[in-house]
Structure 1
C-alpha cells in the first residue's frame, strides 16, 4: 500500500505542476503587444542631412617687419630694484607691528607741553599711546606726523621685483 501511495503521489505532483505552469501562460499582455506594434508602424519624421563643413583659409603671420601681436605695444620699464631703500630688519619689533593697519583705529590725540600722542585701539580692544617715530602695521609703517584727525604713516613695502618702495598712508579718526 505504501508503494501505491508513493507511485500515485509521484504521478500527481508533476501533473499539478504542469497545470499550474499552464495557467501562467495566458494572453494578459495583448494590449501591450498591440500598442508596441502600433508605435512601430508609425511613420518616422525625416531628419535633414548635416550641412557640409565650410572651408576656411589658414592665415600665417610671416611678416617679420611688423609688430608681434602677442607682445605689449609699449616696452615695460622694469623698476630699479637697487634704489637703496629697505626696511631695518635688525631693529626690535613694536607690539603694534603684529596688527594690520586696517585693524587699527585712531581714537583721538593727547597733547602736553607741546608733545602730541595719538590713541590707537587694536582689534582686540587694547588702547595704545603712540608718538612720531613709532612703528605700526605689518609693512614697516613708521609714524611721521600726528594731526588732530589723522596719523601720517610711511610704509616700506616690496615692489614685486626684489626691491622696496615707500608708500605713504594715513590712519584717521572716525567721526
Structure 2
C-alpha cells in the first residue's frame, strides 16, 4: 500500500471514530436529560396550580390645592426689586473673565477632561507648514492637536510643538479670584 493510500485509510478510520464518539455522547446526554425532566415538569405543574397572589391596590392620587395669588402688599414675583437687581449685576460681574482668569464660557475641548500626566505625546506630524502633536488619552484614543488648543485640567494652552516635546501654559487659581500662569510641558514617549 502506498503512503497516500495509507494516510487516506487512517483519516477514514479517524473520522469514523469521531462519529462513534459523538453518537455515544449524544446518547448519554439524552439519557441524563430524561431523568431530570420528569421532576421539572411536576414542579412546573405545582407552580401553575397555586392560586394567584392578590395585587396591592393602586395608590390614591392626591390632588394639589389650587392657589390664587392676590398681590395686596406683597411684591410681584415676576419683577425684580432694586436690591435683587444689584445682587444679580454683581454676580454677573464676578463671572466675567478678567486679567489672567480663564473664560468660563469657552467650550471645553476633549483633552481637558484628563489630568496632564494621564495624557501621552506619541509623535508629531507636519502638513502644509502646520505642525501637529499626536496625543493619546488614557483610553488609547489618538488625538491630533496644534498650537492654541487646550489640554489638561488646568486650562493648559499649547504654545509650541517641538519634535520631541509639547510646550504649554497653564492658568491655575492660586487663591479664590487670584490666577497665575505657569509653564508646563509634555515629552515625547515611545
* Residue 110 (structure 2) pairs with residue 95 (structure 1): yes
Secondary structure of 1:102 counterpart: helix
CA distance in structure 1 between the aligned counterparts of 2:127 and 2:180, rounded to whole angstroms: 35
CA distance in structure 2 between the aligned counterparts of 1:121 and 1:169, rounded to whole angstroms: 17
Please state how far the C-alpha of 1:160 moved relative to its aligned partner: 2.2
CA distance in structure 1 between the aligned counterparts of 2:187 and 2:99, rounded to whole angstroms: 30
Decide which moves more: 110-119 or 157-166.
Answer: 157-166
Of the three residues 159, 164, 169, the one matched with 1:154 is: 169
Query: Counterpart of 2:130?
Result: 115
Secondary structure of 1:97 counterpart: helix
CA distance in structure 1 between the aligned counterparts of 2:154 and 2:176, rounded to whole angstroms: 17
CA distance in structure 2 between the aligned counterparts of 1:139 and 1:150, rounded to whole angstroms: 18
Unpaired segments of 5 or more residues in structure 2? 1-97
Stretches of 4+ moved more than 3 A in 1? none
Secondary structure of 1:118 counterpart: strand
> Which protein is bigger by CA-based radius of gyration?
1
Secondary structure of 2:147 counterpart: coil
Under a length normalisation based on structure 2, what TM-score does the superposition of the two structures give? 0.47
* Residue 135 (structure 2) pairs with residue 85 (structure 1): no
Query: Counterpart of 2:140?
Result: 125
* Residue 160 (structure 2) pairs with residue 145 (structure 1): yes
Please state how far the C-alpha of 1:124 moved relative to its aligned partner: 0.8
Secondary structure of 1:159 counterpart: strand
Query: Does 1 or 2 have the higher relative contact order (CA < 8 Å, sep 6+)?
Result: 1
Normalized per residue, which structure has more helix? 2
Please state how far the C-alpha of 1:85 moved relative to its aligned partner: 1.2
Count of paired positions: 93
Over the residues paired in the alignment, what is the CA RMSD in angstroms? 1.3
Secondary structure of 1:84 counterpart: coil
Query: Counterpart of 1:166?
Result: 181
Please state how far the C-alpha of 1:174 moved relative to its aligned partner: 2.1
CA distance in structure 1 between the aligned counterparts of 2:99 and 2:149, rounded to whole angstroms: 22
Please state how far the C-alpha of 1:112 moved relative to its aligned partner: 1.2
